[in-house]
Amino acid sequence: MQDDTDLLLRRILTDVLGLKQGQAETFQADTGLFGHLPELDSMAVAGLLTELEDRLDIIIEDDEIDGEMLETFGGLLDFAKAKRTAA
């Protein structure tokens, strides 16, 4: 099965950040997220993670959430992929 986590994560970020079509495609592994984008405050991150849970069909425990996984696009993508594999 082809892994569509990358695509889904870019779509969720597009929805949460209100990005224009195609803008999320420019995100690289080291593109900064939480702490780098002013609009991505704790409530927005909480919403983003809830949306990740819904769309990727995963459950994210609070103690799994750390700064590293939220800091960059690559960090969040690795986390989401690992969760889906484990699910």
> Where along the sequence are the contacts to another protein (CB under 8 A)?
14-18, 37, 39-47, 49-51, 62-63, 65, 67
Contact 18, 44 (CB under 8 A): no
Shortest distance, CB of residue 41 to another protein, whole angstroms? 7
Residues forming a β-bridge with 72 = 32
Shortest distance, CB of residue 36 to another protein, whole angstroms? 13
Shortest distance, CB of residue 10 to another protein, whole angstroms? 13
DSSP state, residue 72: B
Q: Nearer to another protein by C-beta: 1 or 34?
A: 34
The Cα 4–Cα 77 span in angstroms is: 11
